[in-house]
Structure 1
Amino acid sequence: MLDYSYLVLHLPRGTSRDAARQLLTEHAEYGGWELDRLRLYPDGRRDVRLRRKIIRAVKTM
């Protein structure tokens, strides 16, 4: 079974599309995060949930 850790970002309504894209790209490239869910509200704010796999070392002996 895969386990994930989650990161929730709340972007205010004044955030441009380019700024949001840049922020998510940096998290993906440097942190290993992938997009799990994006909610866009009628007032313009965004809630973004990112996830990444938790890698656990398994003891062999």
Structure 2
Amino acid sequence: MLEYEYRELRFSRGTSRSAARQALAECAEYGRWELARVRLHSDGSRRITLRRRIIRQIRTM
């Protein structure tokens, strides 16, 4: 069974699309995060949920 950990980013109304895109690209490239959900609120702010797989090591003897 796959397990994920989640991270939430919030961008205010004044944040440009290019700045948000750059922040998401850095999270994806260096932290191995993938986009799970984007919510655009009526006040113009964005709430973005990222996820990445949790890799558990199995002990072998």
Same fold (TM > 0.5): yes
Deviating beyond 3 angstroms after TM superposition, the runs of 4 or more aligned structure 1 residues are none
* Per-residue deviation, residues 9-43 of structure 1 (Å, max 9, x unmatched): 11111100000000000000000000000001122
1:20-39 matches, cutoff 5 A: 20-39=20-39
Distance 1:46 1:7 in 2: 14
| Letter matched to residue 27 of structure 1 | C
Runs of 5+ consecutive residues of structure 1 not aligned to the other structure = none
Instruction: Give structure 2 stretches of 5+ with no counterpart.
Output: none
Identity %: 61
RMSD over equivalenced CA pairs, Å: 0.7
TM value normalised by structure 1: 0.95
